Amino acid sequence: MLYKHLSDVTEEEMEKLLNRTGELMDVADTVSSILKDVQEKGDDGLREYTKKFDRADIQYIEVTPEEIEEAMGLVDAELIRHLKIAAENIRNFHAAQLPEKTWFIEPSPGIKLGQMATPLASVGAYVPGGRASYPSTALMTIIPAKVAGVKSVVMCTPPGPDGKINPLTLAAAKVAGADHIYKAGGVQAIAAMAYGTETVLKVDKIVGPGNVFVTVAKMMVRDKAEIDFPAGPSEVLIIADDSADAAMLASDILAQAEHDPKSVSVLVTTSSDLAEQTNAEVKKQADAAVRKEIVDSSLENAAIIVTDTMDECIAISNDFAPEHLEIMVNDEDSVLEMIENAGSIFVGNYAPVAAGDYASGTNHVLPTAGYPKIYSGLNIHHFLKYSTIQKITKEGLGSIGDTIIALAEKEGLQAHADSVKLRLND
């Protein structure tokens, strides 16, 4: 783990922290080959790669209602209750984001301008598996789509070696309202949803996080299905001053580190004492970590940087553009106002990333690797499209007719100009 004062951080070290997209194109050839195979072979290609990567022989790709009911029976009732609590909070937050379906303004007599929101017809939710199961991601991807009014929401998630999907993930998909669930993971799942197969329905948009292969696959299929944004290995940046608690900071660093060996955790602080205490706490907590091997690998990407001023902390954060940003300082609001780039922001000592990951209601599917500079985290608007509307009377057209005609003729589009003249001379 990098542990330095900002003045001692080299250009190369800072570049490594800030440039986190380098390996994406390293896997492009592999991803492209899998996409092509599944596009050409359909279900057979999907089965082939499921056997290769997930070590599972699957005859039926779509999960049956009987399998879902079996999964519901295998999950403890108390866990189902917690899924429903989280689902309700997610549903309420995303419902609050819903725009007015149709609105109009009247900038001048005879001209009404408006906008109409309509849901996408179909969406594919990708829910990762592999090192762990992520039922929470099923809730985060499916529920907003259903709240937006998407009629067909399908979910892909990798099966285990027994050919079955984790029961809790299936239970979450049912609670969330998935219309179809498929036993498919990785690049092959992205291909199936983008191109369609004999079993898997083609979708208009694919959402959800994944590893570097899934992220690149999503980027490559955008000519067939739109995506939410690149969402790779998890990351957190924490801005803290001497009011923060070192044990809390360390626990939040480890919470990201346990996700993936490539996860990135950064603490920037104005307090050298807090930095020292947190560094010691990270080592202590890492020794007791359940997923110690992953944590140890991930901590090689971590950093603790001490600055002289809070402005320097904020500048580093805005350059880093973290997926998750925690603000643990005395003057929270003044720091919050200066944040420009972050996927999701957690303010205060009692707002850990884990709250948003599971149950507060905000979405945990977020852009990573600096992409919060140009993308928003998953929200209701990812599942809607907007059409502009014009209602114009003859009087209204007359008020802008000369302008239309002059500009159209200047661009050499006489038929445009004539279409207005015809109406005004009627």
**pLDDT tens per residue across span 404-420:** 999 999 999 999 999 99
DSSP code at position 130: S
Report d(CA 258, CA 236) in Å as an integer: 12
- 398, 424 in Cβ contact below 8 A? yes
What's the whole-model pTM score?
Answer: 0.94
| Residue 363 burial (CB count, 10 A) | 27
Is the pLDDT at 197 greater than 80? The verdict is yes
Cα-based distances in Å from 48 to 39, 56, 134: 13, 9, 24
Structure token digits, residue 292: 């110690």
Is the pLDDT at 130 greater than 70? The verdict is no
- The structural architecture, per CATH, of the domain 2-19+235-361 is 3-Layer(aba) Sandwich (3.40)
- 131, 406 in Cβ contact below 8 A? no
DSSP code at position 270: S
Please, which pLDDT band fits residue 87 given cuts at 50, 70 and 90? very high
pLDDT (0 to 100) of residue 22? 67
Is the pLDDT at 9 greater than 70? The verdict is yes
Report d(CA 260, CA 290) in Å as an integer: 13
Is the pLDDT at 131 greater than 90? The verdict is no
Report d(CA 316, CA 2) in Å as an integer: 15
pLDDT (0 to 100) of residue 426? 81
| Average pLDDT over every residue of 321-346 | 98
Q: Do 2-19+235-361 and 25-227 agree at the fold level?
A: yes
Report d(CA 99, CA 259) in Å as an integer: 34
What's the distance, Cα to Cα, between the start and end of the chain in Å?
76
Instruction: Express each pLDDT in 334-382 by its tens digit.
Output: 999 999 999 999 999 999 999 999 999 999 999 999 999 999 999 999 9
Task: For residue 304, give the H/E element and its range.
Answer: strand 303-306
Is the pLDDT at 110 greater than 80? The verdict is yes
Q: Please state which of the ranges 32-36, 260-264, 331-335 shows the lowest mean pLDDT.
A: 260-264
Q: Where are the beta strands (DSSP E) in 297-360?
A: 303-306, 324-328, 344-347
| Average pLDDT over every residue of 80-103 | 99
* Residues identified as active-site: 323-324
Domain assignments of the chain as residue spans, ordered by start = 2-19+235-361, 25-227, 393-424
User: Average per-residue pLDDT in the chain?
Assistant: 96
- The CATH number of domain 25-227 is 3.20.10.10: no
pLDDT (0 to 100) of residue 136? 98
Structure token digits, residue 258: 């346990």
- 257, 299 in Cβ contact below 8 A? yes
